[in-house]
Structure 1
Amino acid sequence: MTTIPPQALTNLREVGGPGAQDGRRRTVYRANTERVGADAYPPGLAAVVDLRRDDEIARVPHPLAAADGYRLVPLFDPSTVESGAQAVQLEEQYIDWLERHRTGIAAAFRAIARADGDVLVCCSAGKDRTGVVSGLLARLWGASIEAVGDDYAASAYGLASRFAAERAVSTDPEATAVAQRCVPETMTTVVRYVEERWGSVGAYLRWAGLTEAEVVAL
């Protein structure tokens, strides 16, 4: 197993997993956000799409916030709660977000579509908000359901140390276990829901507000 350098972003990788973007005109990366140097990121990024809330940014300013391509695009709609009370398991929360936070999801995809070059999509852990955007994007590109699930589950390794630290101080082990669950079935359930409800990821994005040109640009 590879040892990750102290200043590395432990959950940084290409969206879709190895080979998913071969032959594409640009690369879209996904990552967590930590107090690291700018050299921890891929060079030459045209855009950084930060999906975090204002309070998260205040606690950990993004290391690339001063870059020309940095965009703050909060996924969560501040006028509503993060998830409905009935959404307990992660896949239920993610599915709830598809409609509750569709404006933020559409804004994130619009920012990716308009970028002229490589893009980084990030949130705090790089698993949940980033995971939903990444999973939908990879599926839009034609990735298999299995590949989408495997890419989501890869965060379990990248976040192992972070998860251990969270468990050590948790006062609600059950809720922590739910939040940290990182298995392929979580994201494959979400993608299958999208395709059953809207027909395809592209159709969902159009419903959420993207134009045909923006979907094509993705």
Structure 2
Amino acid sequence: MTTTSSALTNLRPVGGPALQAGRPRTVFRANTEPVGAEAYPSDLAAVIDLRRIDETNAVPHPLATTEAYRSVPLFDPAAEVESAADAVELEDQYIDWLDRHRSGIAAALRAIAATDGDVLVCCSAGKDRTGIVSALLARHWGDSLDAIGEDYAASAAGLVDRFARERAVSADPEATANAQRCVPEIMTTVIDHVERRCGSVDGYVRAIGLTDEEIAAL
């Protein structure tokens, strides 16, 4: 893979540095781009790549050859990626994923819980799959809905150039722009749905199979 940049534009601690202050490790979130190893935080104990196998084959992660790398596809290969209900709005699509891709979400959270040391969670843009896992983590840690929404929306600034390139080559720029929406209300709606349905994020995480010990390790 050709290295074209030394910076990741959508890399940051989940929820911001203040949320994780005093915790024994830091969980970072990021996009995946052809960058060098120097673009990443040093001494990562785990790199959890949520992309599908065909995505990782096409664009290998820059840290794929390290001991820290874990391929943990969020999308269940037995399920269609897009909603069976043909959800158009991202809120509906994410809520659909919480059910149909629960095994992948559980695997990602287990991989985080099983790791001692700093963790990086990533997908392609670092917005959708990474955004869901990050929001669940942040709420489990006690972050407010408003703060979770703002953290989700923070991806917009870092993805401006990438999104412009995607729209420029899209056969349906309007649909692409809709999929690129990145405003706080999307993720606050999703977490509110989880809490109304399951009582809490921890209730959802238990429902998808994590044990109390695994939840505590998050």
TM-score of Structure 1 vs Structure 2, range by shorter chain: over 0.9
CA distance in 1, matches of 2:149, 2:141: 14
- What corresponds to 1:89 in structure 2? 89
Task: Give the deviation of 1:177 after TM superposition.
Answer: 1.5
Structure 1 counterpart SS, 2:20: coil
- What corresponds to 1:66 in structure 2? 65
Task: Give the deviation of 1:111 after TM superposition.
Answer: 0.1
Deviation sequence 1:139-171 (CA, Å, 0-9, x none): 110000000000000000010000111111121
TM-score, with structure 1 as normaliser? 0.96
> Is 1:110 aligned to 2:128, yes or no?
no
Structure 2 counterpart SS, 1:61: coil
Mapped contact 2:135–2:148 kept (Cα < 8 A): yes
- What corresponds to 1:38 in structure 2? 37
Task: Give the deviation of 1:134 after TM superposition.
Answer: 0.3
Task: Give the deviation of 1:86 after TM superposition.
Answer: 3.4
Consecutive unaligned residues in structure 2, runs of 5 or more:
none
Mapped contact 2:91–2:190 kept (Cα < 8 A): yes
CA distance in 2, matches of 1:86, 1:122: 25
Task: Give the deviation of 1:11 after TM superposition.
Answer: 0.3
Q: Where has structure 1 moved over 3 Å in runs of 4 or more?
A: none
Mapped contact 1:13–1:31 kept (Cα < 8 A): yes
Consecutive unaligned residues in structure 1, runs of 5 or more:
none
**Number of residue equivalences:** 214
Structure 2 counterpart SS, 1:167: helix
CA RMSD of aligned residues (A): 1.1
Task: Give the deviation of 1:174 after TM superposition.
Answer: 2.0
Question: How does 1:143-162 map onto structure 2 within 5 Å?
Answer: 143-162=143-162
Task: Give the deviation of 1:85 after TM superposition.
Answer: 3.0
Mapped contact 1:27–1:117 kept (Cα < 8 A): yes
- What corresponds to 2:46 in structure 1? 47
| One-letter amino acid of the counterpart of residue 59, structure 1 | A
> Is 1:192 aligned to 2:165, yes or no?
no
Task: Give the deviation of 1:59 after TM superposition.
Answer: 1.4
